[in-house]
Amino acid sequence: MILPEKLKKGDKIGVVAPAGIIRKKDLEDLNNSITLMEASGFEIEFGKYVFNASLGYTNSGKEKAQDINNMFRNPEIKAIFAVAGGADSNSTFEYLDYDLIKSNPKILCGFSDITSITNIITEKTGLITYNGPTFKALTSWETAYGYEQVIKRFVEGSKKLGEPDDEFDVIRNGYAEGQLVGGNLSRIANLSSGTYSVTFEDKILFIEELYFESPTTEVNYNLYRMKQNGVFNKIKGIWVGNYEGEVALEKILLDVIGESIDVPIIKSNNFGHIDKKVVIPVGGTARIDTNSSEIIELV
């Protein structure tokens, strides 16, 4: 795997919009994030199509991918953040220049719909990407947890998957080591089959979901889709994140996989569509040890 270099003060951060257009209601948060990151010592550069909507409802996949490719091509850009989540990052897949990305490894970070891009880029290039705050999410939530995690990971080089007071619950006992794959459940389920799919063999799957977009029946559907594509027979462990539905995500998961799939499962509320957004390396190696009720990134 290819590990991108850390950030240092004075570096320039690129911002792209692969998952939808920016609306007026987003501008205050974006300005706050610009102010915060500039105060932290970074320069910010937005992609050409971040504030456009050439199709009326969004930009074309080719335009979105062009912004991403240009950020990887530009030697002044040291990290790339998706500006926000949305719905159609997969429209970029056939237009991304994977050879260019592999030859110019950089930090790439986002969550929610950005799960599609981070996982497919890691799959195609071997570049470790990151499930973590979008640029907007650096200031759009009530606490500074996500921003602090970004600084600890990308500037200080921390390998901690969370904070000491983050709670981890054991759902199913066991021990596992493997590369991390996952993020938003509906998006990673879409990557379990088809032309653009990712490898799950011997990996640790991490999943979270946004309730009002994915009620329990939708979660059940996506988990069954993964089961029917053989995902749960391939992975070594599961890390469950936040889901605020009336039925816990881990309960739905256990209902789907049953007793025949015996892998360790651990649960925490430090990633997902919530204030706490630990930065998780897609393609990084981690260990689940339910004896110590934690997940540890292996260096």
Position 44 pLDDT exceeds 70: yes
pTM: 0.96
Give the mean pLDDT of the chain: 95
Segment 273-285, tens digit of pLDDT: 999 999 999 999 9
CA–CA separation, 94 and 99 (whole Å)? 13
* pLDDT, average across residues 191-204: 97
Q: 225 φ, ψ to 5°?
A: -60, -45
* pLDDT, average across residues 254-279: 95
What domains are there in the chain, each with its CATH number? 12-154 (3.40.50.10740), 168-297 (3.50.30.60)
Position 30 pLDDT exceeds 80: yes
| pLDDT band (50, 70, 90) for residue 21 | confident
pLDDT of residue 277: 96
pLDDT of residue 292: 86
Segment 229-250, tens digit of pLDDT: 999 999 999 999 999 999 999 9
Assess contact for 238 and 185: CB atoms under 8 A.
Answer: no
pLDDT of residue 144: 95
Position 299 pLDDT exceeds 70: no
Better-scored residue on pLDDT, 54 or 77: 77
Where does residue 53 fall: left (phi above 0), alpha (psi -120 to 50 degrees), or beta otherwise? beta
* pLDDT, average across residues 37-66: 94
First to last CA, the chain: 12
Position 197 pLDDT exceeds 80: yes
Length in residues, the chain: 299
pLDDT of residue 182: 98
134: amino acid identity, one letter: T
| pLDDT band (50, 70, 90) for residue 52 | confident
Segment 94-120, tens digit of pLDDT: 999 999 999 999 999 999 999 999 999
pLDDT of residue 294: 83
pLDDT of residue 22: 84
How many Cβ atoms sit within 10 Å of the Cβ of residue 23?
9
Cα 287-252-182 angle, rounded to 5 deg: 40
